[in-house]
Amino acid sequence: MFSSVIHQLRSMLSTATTDSKPKVLILNSPDKAPSEYVAQLKEMVEFHSIEQGSHDVVTGRIAEAVKEKGPFVAYVVFINWWSRPFPWPMDQALVGPLVETGCKMISSGGAGYDFVDIKYMSANGVYYANTPEMPALRTADSTAMMILQALRGSSQREADARAGRWFDPATPLAKDARCSTLGIVGMGKIGKFVSQHMQHFGMKVIYHNRNRLPPDEENGAEYVDFETLILRSDVISLHCPLTESTRHLLNKEVFDRMKKDMIIVNTSRGAVIDEDALVEALESRKVLRAALDVYEFEPKIHPGLIASKHTTILPHCAVANETFERDQQTELLLNLETFIKTGKPINAVNDV
């Protein structure tokens, strides 16, 4: 299949005259990427842009662009995380007109791709490419901060101080990182950085992953099965993708089996946790504190999580810093460049 993609791409490129380059549809523009790199790519392809909007609005914009300016060899989504709505899900209704007219590569910002119909793309010989490098260290840094915040109960201490309760004795004392075991679920790029960060703070790290890592990649973390992770961890940090098998991975039965006074940290996807069950576990103090960046129904946050004194609540901003848009856009352009040159984007998540 890979060779047939190259073949189709080559024939699209060879039928192009010197002044007709392969066309690429882009959502938003790579306005934060290095301008020389954008200029270099403009020598290779012709960009046509549409604006971000809801799923239905972008579905209409894509259909119109394909009709008026297509066909496009690729669709690249320079998603603006600050601006809602997002054009998700990325399903057949949305990308169908592109796929049916020969688009062979779709790429969008972010490591997660739970909003993408990968089956449809693979069945139609289309690569989907994500941007796994951009979020890796940024999300791990934020996760480390959130683990420390939750261990120390600093959100609650701050709320106490703001309310005039100076070092309120009713607020549970900080837990000691050096006496605590961190259980990481999902040992990909982000999980590995979190493991290293937290070992610097003296935490014992155990992890569970679909497959055990080669020993030279474990860097001091111990592989355990999921049940052992649930039983031994003092803090659980989630770094797995959202799939049918990880949806509500942490649910009432799982919370019931954990140690009392657990700490839960989630910077992966909200729906990996059953939020009703988490609220109940916080109320019963099975879970002492939770630090969350992601929610099942973003941008809505479960009212029980907002109301709890024992939560740290962030608005899905673990990756966000001054440089992340530059790096995300550059990684998207790199996917495009490698696709144009080789027929396969560097971060393809599927085989075609």
Ligand X SMILES: O=C(O)C(=O)CO
By beta-carbon proximity to ligand X, the closer residue of 165 and 316 is 316
Q: Which residues pair with 76 in a beta bridge?
A: 26, 107
Phi, psi of 125 (to 5 degrees): 70, 30
Per CB under 6 A, 304 contacts ligand X: no
Catalytic residue numbers? Answer: 269, 298, 316
Number of residues lying near ligand X (CB under 6 A): 6
By beta-carbon proximity to ligand X, the closer residue of 111 and 278 is 111
CB of 283 to ligand X, least distance (A): 28
Q: Which residues pair with 184 in a beta bridge?
A: 207, 237
What are the CB-based long-range contacts (under 8 Å, 24+) for 330-334?
A: 330/33, 330/34, 330/37, 331/109, 331/131, 331/133, 331/134, 332/30, 332/33, 332/76, 332/77, 332/78, 332/107, 332/108, 332/109, 332/131, 333/30, 333/33, 333/37, 333/38, 333/41, 333/76
Q: Which of 60, 96, 110, 304 binds ligand X (CB under 6 A)?
A: 110
Which among 23-31, 108-116, 156-164, 195-203 is the span making contact with ligand X, rule CB under 6 A? 108-116
Per CB under 6 A, 111 contacts ligand X: yes
The two three-digit tokens of residue 301, written as one number: 């946050």
Per CB under 6 A, 265 contacts ligand X: no
Which among 65-73, 109-117, 165-173, 212-220 is the span making contact with ligand X, rule CB under 6 A? 109-117
How far is residue 77's CA from residue 94's CA, in Å, rounded to a whole number?
Answer: 13
Q: Per-residue contact track with ligand X, 15 to 54, x per CB under 6 A?
A: ----------------------------------------
Neighbours of 81 (CB within 10 A): 15
By beta-carbon proximity to ligand X, the closer residue of 281 and 349 is 349
Put the strands of the sheet holding 46-50 in their side by side order: 46-50, 23-27, 74-77, 105-108, 127-129
Per CB under 6 A, 60 contacts ligand X: no
Q: Which residues pair with 290 in a beta bridge?
A: 264, 311
Per CB under 6 A, 240 contacts ligand X: no
Q: Which of 53, 112, 125, 304 binds ligand X (CB under 6 A)?
A: 112
By beta-carbon proximity to ligand X, the closer residue of 130 and 180 is 130
Per CB under 6 A, 191 contacts ligand X: no
Binding region for ligand X (CB under 6 A) = 110-112, 135, 316, 319
